[in-house]
Structure 1
């Protein structure tokens, strides 16, 4: 797996675990939502500054985005679509 794919995999896994939409993650990281989608698909060469912003929103060290996923694990499932119910 190349570095862009690993970063995208980990970004999506961490985002879904925290139940953040791409839009919310992008808003808090001050980047474009479409860019987040391209990063998750491994289509972008991400700068260190962008990695720092994303890691900051996800409350993880930047190194967590470079962790090699288990080869047997499945690609992280997407969040359920639609709005969250009000509590």
Structure 2
């Protein structure tokens, strides 16, 4: 598997998982993060490579620290490796 694709898919899955755990719609998260809902959908599906500022905005929209996202990413990434 391509590491870049895995990384993008893992990031999207974490964002989606956190959002659904909060019972938050994509629309609400997109509004909170000040991004387009369709862009968020593509991020969650691993189709977009968000920039760091976009990732920060999504984290703020999810009320989570970037360090929490990195921790979750590390856990999921090394389960696959």
| TM-score normalized by the length of structure 2 | 0.78
4+ runs deviating over 4 angstroms: none
Q: Residue in 2 aligned with 1:62?
A: 66
Q: What CA distance in whole angstroms lies between the structure 1 residues aligned with 2:67 and 2:43?
A: 16
- Unpaired runs of 5+ residues, structure 1, are 72-87
Q: Residue in 1 aligned with 2:29?
A: 25
- Unpaired runs of 5+ residues, structure 2, are none
Aligned length: 71
Q: What CA distance in whole angstroms lies between the structure 2 residues aligned with 1:23 and 1:33?
A: 6
| TM-score normalized by the length of structure 1 | 0.73
Q: How much is the aligned-residue C-alpha RMSD, in angstroms?
A: 1.7
**Which secondary structure state, in structure 1, belongs to the residue aligned with residue 48 of structure 2?**
coil
Paired residues of 1:22 and 1:37 also in contact (CA < 8 A):
yes
Q: Residue in 2 aligned with 1:50?
A: 54
How far apart are 1:59 and its partner, in Å? 1.6
Structure with bigger gyration radius:
1
**For the structure 1 residues 5 and 63, does the alpha-carbon distance in structure 2 shift closer, same or farther, using more than 3 Å as the test?**
farther
How far apart are 1:3 and its partner, in Å? 1.1
Which of the pair is proportionally richer in helix?
2
